[in-house]
Structure formats: structure tokens, C-alpha cells
Amino acid sequence: MMNGLRLKQVREFLGLTQSELALKLDASQSTVAYLEGGYLQPSEELLRTICECTGFPQEFFEQTEVTEFPLGSLLYRSRNAIDASERARVNRYGQFMFEVAEKLASKLKYPQFKLPKGGLDAVMAARIIRSNLGYTPDSPIDDLIYDLEKNGVFIFKSPVLFPKTEAFAVWAGHENKKPVIVLTGDTPADRTRWTVAHELGHLDLHSTLFGDIQAFEREADIFASELLLPEETMSRLIVEPFNLMRAARIRSEWKVSIQALIRRAHDLQLIPDSTYKSLFVQISQQKKKLQELSEADTPERPRYLRGMAEKRYGGKRINYQQFSKDTKFPIAVLKQFIEAQASQEEYTRKKPQGKILDFPSEKNYSTDVREN
Amino acid sequence: MHDIPSEDEAFQKLGPLKGLWYESLYSAILDTNKHFKDNCDHRSDIPPLFSWHVRSKFQTLLEPHTNAYNFAIVPVLGGSFLVTHGFFACKFRKAFNGKLPPPTNKTQLRYYNANSGLSIWPTLPGWEQLRTFPSGGTVNLLVYYDLNPQHELAWVKIACPRFATLTEIECFWDKDIDNPLFSGSGGFEVKHSTEEREDIPFEELPFEEDDDNPLTGLAE
């Protein structure tokens, strides 16, 4: 029996409207609507066509239990910034990656979320998180994604990039207790760090969906500023005469964009309006060159999903057949998900030693022995 | 035999020091502008006052970096200073009409002409490592800068003077220092730790098998 909700999720994941899917299936839009609503069950032939067109196996559509995955901070995006179909697609990417991670997590022991949560103002919350991550106010955060993953935050990089939505955060899973950040934008490293810090701010401060959305965004920005550029240290580093080169020097240590640093200096009233304006004029004059400088930095990538898949399915050479069988996701989709995440070498900074030989995995080997 | 490094060789030997000079001059000029704006705006147009202030601030900015960049600041008569690094001696001046400023006294004239006995020798392929210059003494360089109409740093150049009179200067070479912010060699790249670190610690949970042990009585 097909679960109509699954069809809707897959359609949104593929970025199709009901009419577009209907056209592919050689059916009417209302048929698709009825199927999705659960008012109609497809014939065997139609189900086969659905599987062929979407690439998802029949077992996927037959799952009755579906993981809850709220919109989270996607709700804070204004309608002008992102349309409903893109919002749904972004959310489905996050949902499917989380679903795969949840299935893997059920067989693995993984770091539990242990950062203190909310209840304070943005600045205090950021200071507490910073301290819990093991950083003093005078030390820059080396790799925020690494630190958060080690502390049990699920971070995924979407294989498909959505320029209008850089990232979103959500509490998901059983009783919405797992913090998830999904990176969906193609942004330079400094921007990505800022985005992750901003989304962490939403996770930490905004568990309620009701309130002033603009105020939520402002609070998340204040949280990110204090997390990445603590006031205590910035007021020592940023002194007049403050110039673009000095900003670039601080940026290279603190790994944020020059713009973010200048805005922070202004917000903390460490530079006057005139310097603030003059610096932004200089930035606009040197925009291209500064952009190149920013793009020269390698963005941090999460590893959670890939790490779990490698642990569960045979190390660096993942057994995708088994992975697909267990998770009910198509191999192509799983490969897309995994390849968007950081490899072990990239993540641990360890250089690969020698050539990787293609030995059968331990499980396959023991099966063979039993059969013989 | 004395000889002179080519501009590329000299730039390579000066390494990150060039970026430090550029950055310090940039900051010294901004500071000077602020100083004149805060105190006596009209005097910023008086060239000697402006360049004296820049030089003084520039020296202050260089001083903390002598060990890290391996150079020395040598005071000279008239409140000025030289920077020595390896076999280079460097004097800092503000451009005159957008060009290398001519010497204004006998001491400067001697400095400009000190390289006149040296010459550029071609390096034969395969001999690069064996080549040393100069075989004795120092190579005198001139680092000079100019301002744009807004009194901000416009450029910085290094020249290696061959011969000079009070009105005329001839150089072995004369080359711009790239703005270190954009040249990729100024140390403005984001500094990530390169230390190896642990992967996320995932562990397989114990495999839960069906209990088919007859002793437990749960097999049937």
C-alpha cells in the first residue's frame, strides 16, 4: 500500500509541481493530488511508473512511519526571499538527509547533544556556548562545524545548492530533540561560518515558532557576532585608526568576512560612523579583489552523515547496495548525499597513507566463510 | 666580484617584508591624515610635515616586528632611519611629482651612488644556488610611495639606484610592491590550524540477534 505523503515528499524533493509529475506519469493532476492525499491507491502499473519516473524504490513509498521534520528556521524567511516550492524542496533535502542519518544512528553510538540550551539573551547564550566548546574569549574558533558535530549537532551539506537559502536549522527526530543544521547555499568559507553560527543561534534561542520574525533574525545575528567575534577581545583589537588592511589582518585570524568584522566594530561603537562608511566605500571599490580573497579560503564541510555511513557500510568504500536496501533510498540519491559531505582526510587533516586496496568488507568475508 | 640582484631576486629575498612595509605605510598615512584632521587640517598640504609624520609613525609601526621579520632599524642623522635586512639597506621616501625623489643633500647623494660600482650579472642555468650577492658590502635600495588626491596611499615602489646627481637619477631597476591584501602573499589568507584531529567517534552498537539459545527457553 502506498503512503501518499511519501509521494508528496519525493515530488517536492525533485522540485516538481503536481501537474509536472502528472505529465511524467501520463496521468491527471487530480490523480496525483488524490494519491498524495491518500484518497486513491495506484494500480500496480502506475506504481511501477512512479518508481521509474522518480528513481525511488517501491519500498520507499510503502513506508508508513515517516520522520517528522518541521520547517524550523525556514519559517523565518520572508515570502519575498524564498518561494513556497523552493522552501519545500530545501526542507525535503534536509528531511531526507536527516532520515538517512536517523536510520544509521539507530545502529551506531554517536555523540549526544550536550550544549546548554536557551533561556538567556543572545549575548550570554553565545558566551556560554563558546565556553562549552572550549574557547576562551581571546581565541578564534578554528572550525565551527567540527566543534558542533563533536557536540552532537547534526550538520548536513545539501548536494543541491539553493542560492536564496544559505542554511536552515530545526529541532527534529523523536520529540524534536535533535538539533539539525542544513547547509544549502554555495557560499564562501567565511560566510558559511557566519551562517552556521546564526543558525545555531536560532536553535539555541528560538524553540517557539511564534514571535517577531525580524527580532528572531536580529537575535541570531547578535548571537553569531558574539560567538565568532567576542566583544571582550574585539574591543582590544579594533582601535582607531582602523583601516581595511587592519580589518583584513583580524579577519585572517578570526575567519569571518571583512564586512562582518566592520559591522561588528560599528555595532560595538569601536569605530565612528565616518570610518564605517569610508570602509564600506573602500570595500565596494575593491569588491572583486576582496571576493577573491574570501573565495581562496576552503569552506568547512560537515561529516556526520558520511562518517556514519562509512562506519556502518564498509569504510571508505561504502557498500551502497546494502545501504540502499536498509534505508530504502535510491543509490544515486545516497551517493549524492554522501559525496556532499567531508571525507575523512579532509575532516581529520590526515594525509592518506598508501594506496586503498579493495578488500572485501569484514561482513561479506564472514558470510562467505559460513557459506563454504 | 660585486653584483646586484635582479628585481625578481631582490623581491624574493625581501619576502614578506615588502607586505609589512606596504601595510605599515598604509596605516601610517591614515594615522597622519587623522592627526592633521584632528589638529591642524590646513597643514596636511605641507609636504615635509606630512611625510615627517608618516615616517615617524611608520617607524613606530615597524619596531615591534624586527625579530619576526628579521630586520634592523638603524637611526641616521636628521631623525631618519634605514632598514637593514640581509645585505640590503633600505631608505624610505615620499615620491616627488610621482617619481623617485632626487637626493637633497650630500649624505643622500652618497647613499644613492653607493651601488655605482656594482653591476647586474646574469645567472647561468644551474648556478642559481651557488650565486651570492654582493660579494662584499650592501646593496642600497630606495622604498618610495605616493599618495592619491585623497591623501591615501596610492602605491609603493622599490628602486635600486645606480647613479644620481642632485637633479638626475638612474636605476638598475624600479618595481611596484603589490598591495599585500590582494597579492596573495601578504599573509591575509585565513589561518587554519593544520594539526591532525580525530574523526567523529561513531561506534557500532552490539548486534542484537534473535535469542535461539535453548537454555534460556526463549527459542520456541
Q: pLDDT tens for residues A258-285?
A: 999 999 999 999 999 988 998 999 889 8
Lowest mean pLDDT among A9-13, A32-36, A221-225, A294-298: A294-298
B87-120 pLDDT per residue, tens: 899 999 999 999 999 998 898 999 999 988 776 6
Q: For residues A153 and B200, what is the distance between their CA atoms, to the nearest angstrom?
A: 11
State yes or no: pLDDT of A118 exceeds 80: no
C-beta atoms of A344 and B199 within 8 A: yes
Regarding predicted confidence, which is higher, B128 or A350? A350
The mean predicted confidence, pLDDT, of chain A is 87
Write out chain B residues lying below 8 Å of A146, CB-based.
197
Write out chain A residues lying below 8 Å of B57, CB-based.
none
Handedness of CA B84, B87, B93, B95 (dihedral sign): negative
State yes or no: pLDDT of B219 exceeds 50: no
Q: Are A29 and A18 in contact (CB under 8 A)?
A: yes
Write out chain B residues lying below 8 Å of A350, CB-based.
196
For cell 568547512, the residue is: A300
Per the structure block, which three cell numbers stand in for A59? 519500498
What number of H helices and E strands is found in chain A?
20, 4
CA distances to A39, A86, A221, B11 from A363, rounded to whole Å, are 43, 41, 48, 60
Closest C-alpha among A221, A226, A195, A229 to residue A126: A226
pLDDT at residue A243, as a whole number: 86
Write out chain B residues lying below 8 Å of A143, CB-based.
192-193
Nearest residue in chain A measured CA to CA from B207: A107
pLDDT at residue A372, as a whole number: 33
pLDDT at residue A232, as a whole number: 95
> Which pTM value belongs to this model?
0.79
Closest Cα in chain A, distance from residue B35 (Å): 10
User: How large a percentage of chain A has pLDDT more than 70?
Assistant: 91
Write out chain A residues lying below 8 Å of B26, CB-based.
243, 245
Handedness of CA A350, A356, A358, A364 (dihedral sign): negative
Q: Which of B187, B199, B203 sits opposite A347 (nearest CB)?
A: B199
C-beta atoms of B188 and A251 within 8 A: yes
C-beta atoms of B190 and A189 within 8 A: yes
For B6, the 3-state DSSP assignment is: coil
Cβ neighbours of residue A211 closer than 8 Å, sequence gap 6 or more: none
- Number of CB pairs, chain A paired with chain B, less than 8 A apart: 92
